[in-house]
Amino acid sequence: MATGIRRWASLLLIGLGLSLAHAQSPTPNPRKAARDMAGEALEGIGDAAKELAERKAREDAARDGADGEGGEGGEAGGEAGGEREARPAEKVAAGAGGDGKTGRAASDGKADQKDDDRKDDDRAADLGPPVPFTAKAAPPLPRLDENGGRGLRAVVIPIDGTIDMGLAPFVKRIIDESAGAAVIILDVDTFGGRVDAAVQIRDALLRTEIPVVAFVDNRAISAGALISLAADHIVFAPGGSMGAATPVQLQGGQAAPVAEKTVSYMRAEMRATAEANGRPGVLAEAMVDADIAIEGVIPRGKLLTVSTDEAVELGLAAQKIGSVEEILETLGLESAEVRRPTVNWAEKVARFLTDPVVSGLLMSLGMLGLLLEFYTPGFGITGAIGVLCLMLFFGGSSVAGLAGWEEMVIFALGVVALGVEVFVLPGFGVAGVLGIGLIGTALVMALIGMPMGTSWEIGLLGDALTAVTISLLGTALAMIVVIRFLPGSFLGKWLVLEHTLGGSRDGSAPADDEPWQAAPNDNRGWLGQRGISLTPLRPSGRVRIGDDVVDVVSRDRWIDRDTPVKVVETEGVRVVVVEDEDAY
Supply the DSSP string of 49-104, one letter for each residue. Answer: HHHHHHHHHHHHHHHHHHHSSSHHHHHHHHHHHHHHHHHHHHHHHHHHHS--HHHH
Residue 13: what pLDDT?
Answer: 42
Q: Residue 510 contacts by C-beta under 8 Å, 6 or more apart in sequence?
A: 501, 502, 503, 504, 516
Q: Residue 520 contacts by C-beta under 8 Å, 6 or more apart in sequence?
A: 526
Beta carbons of 170 and 200 less than 8 angstroms apart = no
Residue 38: what pLDDT?
Answer: 46
Residue 148 lies in a domain: no
H-run or E-run covering 352: helix 345-353
Domain of residue 187 covers 153-343
Residue 130 lies in a domain: no
Segment 254-265, tens digit of pLDDT: 555 666 767 888
User: Which of 390, 351, 359, 352 has its CA nearest to residue 471?
Assistant: 359
**In the predicted model, what is the mean pLDDT of residues 26-50?**
48
Residue 127 lies in a domain: no
The alpha carbon of residue 327 and the mean position of all alpha carbons in its chain are separated, in whole angstroms, by: 39
In the listed set 311, 343, 375, which residue is the last one of a domain according to the structure?
343
The alpha carbon of residue 506 and the mean position of all alpha carbons in its chain are separated, in whole angstroms, by: 58
Shared-domain flag, residues 9 and 51: yes
Q: 3-state DSSP call for residue 549?
A: strand
Shared-domain flag, residues 90 and 209: no
Q: Which residue spans within 142-197 are E strands per DSSP? A: 153-163, 183-193
Where are the alpha helices (H) located in 213-344, listed in sequence order? 223-229, 260-276, 281-286, 308-314, 324-331
Residue 206: what pLDDT?
Answer: 96
437 band by pLDDT with thresholds 50, 70 and 90? confident
Residue 420: what pLDDT?
Answer: 79
Angle at 363 between CA 361 and CA 366, to 5 degrees: 100
Residue 390: what pLDDT?
Answer: 87
**In the predicted model, what is the mean pLDDT of residues 317-330?**
95
Residue 136 lies in a domain: no
Shared-domain flag, residues 406 and 532: no
Shared-domain flag, residues 86 and 167: no
Beta carbons of 358 and 348 less than 8 angstroms apart = no
436 pLDDT higher than 90: no
| End-to-end Cα separation, the chain, in angstroms | 94
Out of 234-243, 472-481, 558-567, the most confident range is 234-243
Q: Quote the number of domains for the chain.
A: 4
In the listed set 82, 98, 114, which residue is the last one of a domain according to the structure?
98
Shared-domain flag, residues 78 and 172: no
452 band by pLDDT with thresholds 50, 70 and 90? low
Segment 460-511, tens digit of pLDDT: 677 788 888 888 888 888 877 776 766 555 555 555 545 444 444 444 445 5
**In the predicted model, what is the mean pLDDT of residues 415-440?**
76
Residue 330: what pLDDT?
Answer: 95
Helices 345-353 and 167-177: angle between axes, nearest 10 degrees: 150
Shared-domain flag, residues 354 and 336: no
Residue 157: what pLDDT?
Answer: 96
The answer to which of 40-54, 249-263, 514-528, 566-580 has the lowest mean pLDDT is 40-54
Segment 378-413, tens digit of pLDDT: 556 777 888 888 888 888 887 766 667 788 888 888
Segment 84-130, tens digit of pLDDT: 334 333 433 333 344 444 444 444 555 555 555 555 455 544 567 88
Can you spell out the DSSP letters for 425-456?
S-SSSHHHHHHHHHHHHHHHHTT--S-HHHHH
Shared-domain flag, residues 350 and 339: no
User: Which of 348, 319, 220, 340 has its CA nearest to residue 273?
Assistant: 220
Residue 35: what pLDDT?
Answer: 47
Residue 59: what pLDDT?
Answer: 61
For 91-96, the CB contacts below 8 A with 24+ separation are 92/49, 92/53, 93/45, 93/46, 93/47, 93/49, 93/50, 94/46, 96/11, 96/42, 96/45, 96/46, 96/49
366 pLDDT higher than 60: yes
The mean pLDDT value of the chain amounts to 75
Shared-domain flag, residues 215 and 278: yes
The CATH number assigned to the domain holding 246 equals 3.90.226.10
Do you find a cis peptide bond into 341, omega within 30 degrees of 0? no
Beta carbons of 245 and 287 less than 8 angstroms apart = yes
Phi-psi region of 379 (alpha: psi -120 to 50; beta: other; left: phi over 0): beta
Residue 180 lies in a domain: yes
Exposure letters 305-319 (e unless 16+ CB within 10 A, then b): bbebebbbebbbbbb
Angle at 480 between CA 420 and CA 413, to 5 degrees: 25
Tell me the pairing of strands 212-221 and 183-193: parallel
**In the predicted model, what is the mean pLDDT of residues 132-160?**
93
Residue 62: what pLDDT?
Answer: 56
CA distances from 113 to 101, 106, 110, 117, 477 (A): 18, 11, 5, 6, 49
Shared-domain flag, residues 232 and 246: yes
Q: 3-state DSSP call for residue 316?
A: coil
Residue 14: what pLDDT?
Answer: 43
Residue 158: what pLDDT?
Answer: 95
Shared-domain flag, residues 322 and 420: no
Distance CA 469, CA 441 (A): 11
269 or 446, greater pLDDT: 269
269 pLDDT higher than 80: yes
**In the predicted model, what is the mean pLDDT of residues 17-33?**
41
The CATH number assigned to the domain holding 547 equals 2.40.50.140
Distance CA 522, CA 527 (A): 10
Burial class (CB within 10 angstroms; exposed 0-12, middle 13-18, buried 19+) of 145 = middle
Beta carbons of 230 and 198 less than 8 angstroms apart = no
Residue 27: what pLDDT?
Answer: 39
For 372-378, the CB contacts below 8 A with 24+ separation are 372/479, 372/482, 374/418, 374/419, 374/422, 375/479, 375/483, 376/495, 376/496
Angle at 480 between CA 479 and CA 486, to 5 degrees: 80
Shared-domain flag, residues 80 and 159: no
Out of 47-56, 150-159, 256-265, 573-582, the most confident range is 150-159
521 or 374, greater pLDDT: 374
In the listed set 282, 311, 343, which residue is the last one of a domain according to the structure?
343
Shared-domain flag, residues 195 and 334: yes
For residue 299, how many other CB atoms are within 10 A of its CB?
A: 10
User: Which of 545, 489, 488, 555 has its CA nearest to residue 522?
Assistant: 488
204 band by pLDDT with thresholds 50, 70 and 90? very high
Residue 110 lies in a domain: no
Residue 195 lies in a domain: yes
**In the predicted model, what is the mean pLDDT of residues 23-48?**
47
Residue 571: what pLDDT?
Answer: 78
Residue 329: what pLDDT?
Answer: 94
Residue 139 lies in a domain: no
Residue 454: what pLDDT?
Answer: 64
Residue 221: what pLDDT?
Answer: 95
